[in-house]
Each structure stands twice: as structure tokens, then as C-alpha cells.
Amino acid sequence: MNNIIMGLLYIEEQAGQNEAAAEEEKENLPRRIEEARQKLTEHANSETGERVAAFQNATQKEAGKQIDEINRRTQRQIKNIEKQFSEKNKQWENEIYDLVLGER
């Protein structure tokens, strides 16, 4: 009988310890949830920042390529205009001269 009482007291003591641990866990749960939420938010923000930076870099590279192509086309057009001017300079000069003096 003494063993049964000792066994029951042991079980009651264990139940009390389990209850205390559960109560402590219950009290700590909101803090642990908040910490986990903050970690997730920080991770998401960090990942978003990295993605934004990667997108900006890719966009800047593409814009740089487009600007380079525009500059090349512009330089070709300038050279073509300069070439045309040097080839037709005298002709245009004569035509303007004739128009101004009315000899046409």
C-alpha cells in the first residue's frame, strides 16, 4: 500500500512539474511567435532587397546597352550627314547662290 501511495505521489509530482512546464511554455509562446515573425520578416526583407538590387543591376545593364546602341546609330548618322555635306557642299552652295541672285 505504501508503494501505491508513493507511486501516486510521484505521479502527482510529475504532473505538477509537467503543468508548470506547460504554463511556462504557454507564457513564452507569444514572445517566441513574435521572434519567429521578426526573423521571417527580416529574411523576407533581405531577400526582397537582394531581388530589387538584382533587378536594378539588370535594368541598368540593359539601359546601358540601349544607350550604347543609340550612340552608335547617332554617330553613324552624323558621319553620313558630314559625308553628304562634304560631297554636296559645292552643289548646294551654287544652288543657294543661284536662288539668291535669281539666276535659276
C-alpha distance from residue 86 to each of 70, 80, 89, 92, 94 (Å): 24, 10, 5, 10, 14
pLDDT single digits (tens) 11-21: 777 777 777 77
Q: Is the pLDDT of residue 104 over 60?
A: no
Secondary-structure breakdown of the chain: helix, strand, coil percentages, each rounded to the nearest 5? 95, 0, 5
Dump pLDDT digits (tens) for 67-100: 999 999 999 999 999 999 999 999 988 888 888 8
Residues 6 or more apart whose Cβ sits within 8 Å of residue 4: none
Domain ranges for the chain: 1-74
